[in-house]
Amino acid sequence: MNELATGCIMKHMIVSVAVAGASGYAGGEILRLLLGHPKFASGELRIGALTAGSNAGSLLGAHHPHLLPLAERELEETTTDVLSGHDVVFLGLPHGSSGPVADALPPATLVIDCGADFRLQESAEWEKYYGGTHAGTWPYGLPELPGNREVLSGAARIAVPGCYPTVSTLALLPAVAAGIVSPAITIVAVSGASGAGRSPKVDLLAAEVIGSARAYGVGGMHRHTPEIIQNLSAVANSPVNVSFTPVLAPMARGILATCTAPTTVTTAEARAVYEKAYADEPFVTLLPEGRLPATGSVIGSNAIQLSVAVDERSGTLIAVGAMDNLTKGTGGGAVQSMNLALGWGETEGLSTVGVAP
Amino acid sequence: MNELATGCIMKHMIVSVAVAGASGYAGGEILRLLLGHPKFASGELRIGALTAGSNAGSLLGAHHPHLLPLAERELEETTTDVLSGHDVVFLGLPHGSSGPVADALPPATLVIDCGADFRLQESAEWEKYYGGTHAGTWPYGLPELPGNREVLSGAARIAVPGCYPTVSTLALLPAVAAGIVSPAITIVAVSGASGAGRSPKVDLLAAEVIGSARAYGVGGMHRHTPEIIQNLSAVANSPVNVSFTPVLAPMARGILATCTAPTTVTTAEARAVYEKAYADEPFVTLLPEGRLPATGSVIGSNAIQLSVAVDERSGTLIAVGAMDNLTKGTGGGAVQSMNLALGWGETEGLSTVGVAP
Amino acid sequence: MNELATGCIMKHMIVSVAVAGASGYAGGEILRLLLGHPKFASGELRIGALTAGSNAGSLLGAHHPHLLPLAERELEETTTDVLSGHDVVFLGLPHGSSGPVADALPPATLVIDCGADFRLQESAEWEKYYGGTHAGTWPYGLPELPGNREVLSGAARIAVPGCYPTVSTLALLPAVAAGIVSPAITIVAVSGASGAGRSPKVDLLAAEVIGSARAYGVGGMHRHTPEIIQNLSAVANSPVNVSFTPVLAPMARGILATCTAPTTVTTAEARAVYEKAYADEPFVTLLPEGRLPATGSVIGSNAIQLSVAVDERSGTLIAVGAMDNLTKGTGGGAVQSMNLALGWGETEGLSTVGVAP
Amino acid sequence: MNELATGCIMKHMIVSVAVAGASGYAGGEILRLLLGHPKFASGELRIGALTAGSNAGSLLGAHHPHLLPLAERELEETTTDVLSGHDVVFLGLPHGSSGPVADALPPATLVIDCGADFRLQESAEWEKYYGGTHAGTWPYGLPELPGNREVLSGAARIAVPGCYPTVSTLALLPAVAAGIVSPAITIVAVSGASGAGRSPKVDLLAAEVIGSARAYGVGGMHRHTPEIIQNLSAVANSPVNVSFTPVLAPMARGILATCTAPTTVTTAEARAVYEKAYADEPFVTLLPEGRLPATGSVIGSNAIQLSVAVDERSGTLIAVGAMDNLTKGTGGGAVQSMNLALGWGETEGLSTVGVAP
């Protein structure tokens, strides 16, 4: 293997990667994963420009002291000039900002957007939930969706899914695809505070969040709602009904999504459906019967751990998924898509091993 | 003022209160509330025997250093001899232990059980979820249930509801009673670690719980499930279907219950139903539209803060309730019932003001 | 009893209290304590104007949902007109803002400043650590300092001590006063995030603070340093040398101060000194030998729990103090001083019972 | 490099590694690091027997769900038979248990003990702090100590340092070695709960630890005290005086050690000493002036981040170090020593990049 790898280096160009929004949480997570990517170790991937908005001019170490090898890197302005000339550009920008930046980049540049701008297919949905003009729809960076790996291989524009949609979709996909649940879905997902981003707000202060759980976006108001509906409706090949409620819990990372829907199958039958669906997925694991997912098991990893059970008394299928919102839910999902788009091994630089406890 | 107050004391009996299981969380919370009870301040309530199991012989201060005024109190064995002779006995014992203790106490003694032994009406349900022989059914200490204040006034035996059932029932009661939801209910409730009690277990260690959210009792396995069904079916006057999933979050106290059910009403209609139902309840508050409950707002208080909204797209009513599992969910609910049973003011010693942030 | 109590009210004046900066943490804590104050229950204390800066015009419930009884109160502008006409005005304003507000209030108004403006005696110290012009020096609201209760009784202007100085001073006071330590003191104090106030800053976001401990103000830079030196030098009646390092830990409330100094006495001798010093103090408790303070034991209470021990090998006295920074460290200390100034019972409305776990 | 690596594989034996105590935190962390070690990826390192005490017979996945690739591995009994035949044996056993296990293994086996049994040189110290008979003294696995890399290269027995001694020693080493501080050292170190191990105890329950900071081992009682003294006295080449107080904070991982000592130098002089001392150390970083260490920056990494400043007013040098107690403080330190002992690259499988936020 090593001998072949050596050959690869000879044949390959060095891929230059820029990260726009490098001082935010998405940007920081992408950089963390790139620093551990085997292609970075081998020299085939080079970390180029790091850009920021108001933080431009400062050193990355002031914002991400955990990224020691890049501590002395200066953040540049997020401009076309700075980003052009890279083979890959990751965008970790506020919603609505990615469109203009992407438009100005060459069509051959692989642009991977961690924002919401290009996730939705329906412009009416975008305008209802985000406001303003819909920028468009890009290939959707969830390789686990049926047929999606082919779409992503060689794509030049990729929209990274939202964190809640990633885990919710994958927790329900086998059940919806197999038609073992009615399309009346209820999702309650508990998330850590990093999911809300790094802009300072009173209600995200540590003193407010520690020791408290609170719901938000109740009543289908959360912007990830139409994305979840879009995904599950595509899988079902017909509209599904989704009630989605997010809950903020006192932790930095992680989402635990509890997804329920009416069913008539047994736990054993449901498990069989899930086992078959995910037998070959590198990052989605159905836990053995009797074990339940915990976000603490997937921190820093690209893994989603799932359980599925049927409450026969109420006739409900309950699928629970645990995921790191910043890794598989953002930066890891982005790197996974990059790997596919560049023709690299899909799992390179991504691990199923979490940091615990 | 002291002289005048003394006059009051002369007119009243002194009520002697014992707490069995005083070194546990339920016992500690009851003692915290009794220390702040106006009848304790006035001398009308006396804190008598404090008993424990394996902790008998040690000082309360070793277990509850936050209860400074009782720090030097020695824990006694939980025996009939020790508990007899008190007017009120609170039981904070492991499930299945309260029956024998209660049977040996005089019928006139007010016995308030914080365990599950006497909550359920159906023996088959008890045996299915708890195992062993069902001890019986006592008046159910949830004054907010229709007609229940009358039952509790003057009762000599009271079963304190479980924490999840308290907040879940009260979050859904108006909707179920008014018939504005279909009886297909999904509850996902996030709880702090104190709900699991004080027995040391690996999966409750701080290092395991901090930084992690995890589901447990998935598939209707949690013992509070039949209690929730019992309450809501009584309110609906017909069987309701309930899927209940508890989630452990990294906090010490608090439950946030997200309760959903199909509906055809609007948010305004739902709010009107809730406003009417809780207009006179001292401890249940419907928040103004646009505000959402947080457990951090009710810590140490007997309050339940609620929101209700309708997701019209999915036709779902979402009621969210925040409660302190140890106060309104255990010790506060127990004191509220004691107040009613003794003919004291229902809210004495109980506050709607939480400790925040 | 109500009739008799009514008689008491007739004899007393009603004291009107305003809180400036009511939407902040200090203001919220003062209001929490006033709501539980017996003089509020009896009608002798009335909560008057609540003012704010940028939050003026909004309802208190939007900022302090835990203060349900005041949820509908509208926040007014912090002006002389609004604050005048109250008997007591609490100031919970940014450092440097209290001077002008206080100057404009009548001399007979009891003004209690939770900020730093009037704590220091040396103008040079103020200017070095806070910048700008020193507003002056007021009676220092730490009743436990020798002779200070007399000063505070009847005072019309009171400077509430800083949170770190309160617990550090009281942890060391007996040792320094008795001369059993050399004046070469090292203090490392761990604090929760509420101590940093409620202004949104990136480094106080929940995602930054949770899961992390970090030092700040290292090298004697923290503004509480001169205040600690001032207190301990007064007690010692000669200059003491203090190294003070604060540490931010992932909790909302609480300070644990570890205070060390060279000594030649034994643990037993040190304990005897502390026992004698605090025998009659209502809010300072020396724990029994073998028990160590935890901030979790004092949350929401006005108590300081202390331990003292001597490491004979290194010849070091180690005094550890636990305190709630918002209660005894801010709002509780303020109410304690108000009680003294008004001639009320010093402990009224203040408890040594914490909310735990 | 790749070509040479290929050659290495050909020439090298496959190194077989066993982990005793694999279900504990130390064992889990070692396994996490081994799964990410390049020699594991290349096939040169094989993870052999995983053993446990009372958990023998169960699957690793039941204890470490974050180690997905090993989830199906069955834990064996910790016996000589099981451990023999491996090239490397890591011991993550209770203090006092490693001696007999190590004695029974062949002298050529590389045994790396994460317990305390072989850390101390003085038997009297061992007996005073740990009780029982001192098992002996092994090469001390802190490569950053002067001359220690040579000792560890090729060693067959290595004692991994305690977590507190690792960060405390390295925070003070340059100052003590250069003689710029007086040997009167005060250390207050804040640690997360994983440092206390995985045995269930009431005072380590999440409900007890969350929301609370508490001191323990006050008065020089903590077992790491003599180890810190041993290290710093060796560096100083004369006895140093150390007061050490550990504090438990509500986080899972991480130690922040605040280390102070009298000095007459300036901050600039102190920084120059530290910069020189650690210029070539791969895992110890002096942060730029003005930045302070946070444990949140080193989670999961083998890095120690340091600051040093002088409080000229009090004449105190304050060195603060942040470290992950389970990585550099246990499992990472162990792997670093293994790398040295086997002649591998010292930093292989170890990163300075943490998982944040």
Look at residue B266 and tell me whether its pLDDT is greater than 60.
Answer: yes
State pLDDT tens for residues C14-25: 999 999 999 999
Above 80 in pLDDT, residue D5? no
Residue A266 pLDDT > 90: yes
Question: Could you tell me if residue B44 is inside a domain?
Answer: yes
Q: Which residue of A has its CA nearest to B300?
A: A211
CB of A64 within 8 Å of a chain B CB? The answer is: no
Q: Do A66 and D296 touch (CB under 8 A)?
A: yes
pLDDT digits (tens, 9 = 90+) for A279-319: 999 999 999 999 999 999 999 999 999 999 999 999 999 99
Cis status of the peptide bond prior to B146, with omega within 30 of 0 = no
What is the percent of chain D with per-residue pLDDT over 70, rounded to a whole number?
97
Per-residue confidence band for C13, with pLDDT thresholds at 50, 70 and 90: confident
Instruction: Give residue B316's domain range.
Output: 163-323
Chain A residue numbers with beta carbons less than 8 Å from the beta carbon of D32 are 353, 355-356
pLDDT digits (tens, 9 = 90+) for A184-212: 999 999 999 999 999 999 999 999 999 99
What is the distance of C-alpha C347 from the center of its chain? Answer: 14
Q: Do C200 and A205 touch (CB under 8 A)?
A: yes
Phi, psi (5° rounding) for residue C260? -125, 150
DSSP letter string, A28-43: HHHHHHHHT-HHHHTT
A contacts of B299 (beta carbons < 8 Å)? 211
Provide the pLDDT for residue A220. 84
pLDDT greater than 50 at residue D150: yes
Nearest-CA distance A1 → chain D (Å): 8
pLDDT for A2 beyond 60: no
Say what the pLDDT of residue C12 is. Answer: 59
Alpha-carbon span B353 to B324, nearest angstrom: 12
Query: Is pLDDT of B188 > 90?
Result: yes
Tell which of B25, B210, B324 to mutate to test the D interface (max D CBs under 10 Å): B210
DSSP secondary structure letters along A74-96 = BPEE--HHHHTT-SEEEE---TT
By Cβ distance, the residue of C194, C298, C356 closest to B357 is: C194
Q: What single letter denotes the amino acid at residue D181?
A: V
For residues C318 and C261, membership in a common domain is answered with yes
Across D135-163, average pLDDT: 97
CATH of the domain at A232: 3.30.360.10
The C-alpha atoms of residue B8 and residue B335 are separated, in whole angstroms, by 22
Q: Give a yes or no: residue B251 inside a domain.
A: yes
- In this prediction, residue A172 carries a pLDDT of 98
D65 and D191 together in one domain: no
Q: What is the pLDDT of residue D239?
A: 97
Identify whether the C-beta of residue A309 lies closer than 8 Å to the C-beta of residue A257.
Answer: no
What's the gap in Å between the CA of C299 and the closest CA on chain A? 12
| Tens digits of residue pLDDT in D214-226 | 999 998 889 999 9
| Tokens 């096939």 belong to residue | D43
Residue B186, chain A, CB below 8 Å: the answer is yes
Whether residues A243 and A273 fall in one domain: yes
- In this complex, the residue of D267, D292, D314 whose CB is nearest that of residue C214 is D292
Given a contact cutoff of 8 angstroms between Cβ atoms, the answer to whether A305 and A321 are in contact is yes
* Pair B124, B179 in one domain: no
Residue D12: the pLDDT is 57
Is C345 in CB contact (< 8 Å) with chain B?
A: no
Residues in chain A: 357
What size, in residues, is chain D?
Answer: 357
Mean pLDDT to the nearest integer, A56-83: 97
pLDDT in tens, C225-248: 999 999 999 999 999 999 999 999
Indicate which residues of A carry an active-site annotation: 163
Q: Which amino acid does the sequence have at A226?
A: P
| Percentage with pLDDT > 70 across chain A | 97
The tally of domains found in chain D comes to 2
A198–C contact, CB cutoff 8 A: yes
pTM summary value: 0.96
Chain A residue numbers touching C252 (CB-CB < 8 A):
206-208, 210-211
Flag whether D1 is in a domain: no
Interface of B with D in 10-29 (CB under 8 A): 25
Establish if D218 touches chain A: CB-CB under 8 angstroms: no
Give the closest of D68, D353, D356 to A353, CB-based.
Answer: D68
Amino acid at D97: S
User: Same domain, yes or no, for C170 and C319?
Assistant: yes
Q: Are C302 and C219 contained in the same domain?
A: yes
User: Beta strand C241-248 with C184-191: parallel, antiparallel or unpaired?
Assistant: parallel
B310 domain residue, yes or no:
yes
Residue with tokens 């640690």: D191
> In this predicted structure, what is the pLDDT of residue B12?
59
> Can you read off the two tokens belonging to residue C320?
């550890």
ipTM, 2 dp:
0.95
pLDDT at C312: 95
C196 touches chain B (CB under 8 A): no
pLDDT at A85: 93
The verdict on residue A6 lying in a domain is: no
- Is the pLDDT reported for residue C10 higher than 90? no
Q: What percent of chain A has pLDDT over 90?
A: 94
Same domain assignment for residues A123 and A59: yes
Q: Is residue C304 part of a domain?
A: yes
CA-nearest residue of chain A to D306? A65
CATH number at residue C34: 3.40.50.720
| Whether C252 and A202 lie within 8 Å, measured CB to CB | no
Is the same domain home to C281 and C228?
A: yes
Q: How far, in Å, CA of A236 to CA of B172, rounded?
A: 31
Residues in chain B: 357
**C33 and C146 in a common domain:** yes
Question: With the CA atoms of A230, A234, A235 and A237 taken in that order, what torsion angle do they form, in degrees rounded to the nearest 10?
Answer: 130
d(CA A357, nearest CA chain D) in Å: 6
Whether the predicted pLDDT of B65 surpasses 80: yes
Chain B residues whose beta carbon lies within 8 Å of the beta carbon of residue C352 = 68-69
B194 and B155 assigned to the same domain:
no
* Chain B residue whose CA is closest to D203: B200
Q: Identify the CA nearest to A243 among candidates C315, B187, D120, D132.
A: B187
Task: Report pLDDT for A177.
Answer: 98
Name the phi and psi angles at A147, rounded to 5. Answer: 80, -5
How does residue B220 score in pLDDT terms, banded at 50, 70 and 90?
Answer: confident
Give the mean pLDDT of chain B: 95
pLDDT, one tens digit per residue, over D321-351 is: 999 999 999 999 999 999 999 999 999 999 9
Average confidence (pLDDT) over A120-146: 95
Find the helix or strand (DSSP H, E) in which B305 lies.
strand B304-311
pLDDT in tens, D234-266: 999 999 999 999 999 999 999 999 999 999 999
Cβ-contact C18, C89 below 8 angstroms: yes
Domain contains C354: no
State the Cα angle at C221 between A61 and A201, rounded to 5°: 55
DSSP A181: B
Tell me, what's the pLDDT at A12? 57
Q: Helices B332-342 and B25-35 meet at what angle, rounded to 10?
A: 50
| Tens digits of residue pLDDT in B271-302 | 999 999 999 999 999 999 999 999 999 999 99
Q: Give yes or no for residue D110 having a pLDDT over 50.
A: yes
Q: Do D55 and D119 have their domain in common?
A: yes
C-beta separation of A60 from A22 below 8 A = yes
Q: Is residue D13 very low, low, confident or very high in pLDDT (cuts 50, 70, 90)?
A: confident
Residue-wise pLDDT tens digits, B66-103: 999 999 999 999 999 999 999 999 999 998 899 999 99
Dihedral of CA atoms B97, B99, B105, B110 in degrees, nearest 10, equals: 100
Check residue B252 and give its pLDDT.
98
The answer to whether position D7 is within a domain reads no
Round to whole Å and give the CA distance between D306 and D286: 5
Same domain, C184 and C103: no
How crowded is residue C132: how many other Cβ atoms within 10 Å of its Cβ?
11
